[in-house]
Structure 1
Amino acid sequence: MYKIGVLGDYDSVYGFASLGLDIFPVKTAEEAAEKLHELASGTYGIIYITEKAKTLLGAEADKYAESAIPAIIPIPGVSGNTGAGVENVKKSVEQAVGSDILFGGQN
């Protein structure tokens, strides 16, 4: 069975531990790249990554865009957000429930 990990700065990821997800706080681009490759080559099927960490990684995170496993999913963090993480979460929820949760199903 695959695991779920969350990669990003400590302040953004520590709350996910209470949900039972494995957290991986990183501070530098090098540390983030190393940890991402480690998670992707292991037993992690889903890796949530903060927008800021994904920006730091650049092309390193894009290496996994075409593969089904692991799914690299950007999420908003406490800082450095571009809106891409919120949009990604919104699209996932729309696919799951068939409705836009922010606008009550009306676009």
Structure 2
Amino acid sequence: MSEQAKLAVIGDQDSIMVFQALGVRTVYANAAKDIEKAIHALAKEETAVIYITEQAAALVPEAIEKYKTEPFPAIIPIPNRFGTNGLGMKGIQDNIEKAIGADIL
């Protein structure tokens, strides 16, 4: 891992273009094949955190699952411009339940 952590965002252009203005690397992708390719490429480039719209994440669950046991990259679902579909919160809920054995949310 390089000294400076790298951030990236994957999703549809209208939802993530604001991140580009903040200096975060943006990867516009809508098709499952392109999203999966972007995740693997960013991981290979030692990106520390990949934010991905929930809608894009729903298309590539296998690619995201591959990195859940790896220290990097952390892949974090975020809502897109239309709002949330609950995927990010579901992931948090599953992790809490796994850690303590009960759903406290």
- TM-score normalised to the size of structure 2? 0.76
Structure 2 partner of 1:58: 61
Root mean square deviation of aligned Cα:
2.2
SS at match of 1:44: coil
How many residue pairs were aligned? 90
Partner of 1:69: 72
1:16 to 15, 19, 28: 19
Residues 1-107 of structure 1 aligned to structure 2 (within 5 Å): 1-79=4-82, 81-85=84-88, 87=89
Identity %: 36
Runs of 4+ displaced beyond 3 Å = none
- Where does the alignment leave 5 or more consecutive residues of structure 1 unmatched? 92-106
